[in-house]
Amino acid sequence: MAFYLMRFSYTPETWAKLIQNPEDRRDAARAYIEQVGGALHGFWYGFGEYDGYAIYEAPDNAAMAAAVLAITAGGALASVETTALLTVEETLAALAQSKGIGYRRPGVPTPSE
């Protein structure tokens, strides 16, 4: 299973509703991801560009996209951004594999030219 960081911001209307009726949204976040076979690993609020952050685990990108689409379609969020997270082991494997890729910058001729 893969891990994902979701950053989101609520609409002003959502904040107004939460002020009137405070609610722990972790339960809702957990329920959405569990419907696609995933798990919620953490849920936080913060200051700055985003109002909240969640760490999810999902079977694959399609499952995570399905959960995010359903959440976004609900209309409570002003913005959402989801990032696939790589483990250190996955990153090390990618670094090793990248050695065999011959990258050429634009405008630089290939060795045969």
Q: Give the pLDDT confidence of 75-107 residue by residue, as tens digits.
A: 999 999 999 999 999 999 999 999 988 888 898
Q: Domain segments of the chain: what residues?
A: 2-98
Among 43-47, 95-99, 108-112, which stretch is predicted with the lowest mean pLDDT? 108-112
In this prediction, residue 113 has a pLDDT band, given cuts at 50, 70 and 90, of low
In this prediction, residue 108 has a pLDDT band, given cuts at 50, 70 and 90, of confident
Which ranges of 1-113 does DSSP label H, i.e. alpha helix? 12-20, 26-34, 61-73, 88-98
Per CATH, which fold does 2-98 belong to? Alpha-Beta Plaits (3.30.70)
pLDDT tens digits, 20-44: 999 999 999 999 999 999 999 999 9
Burial class (CB in 10 A: 0-12, 13-18, 19+), 21: exposed
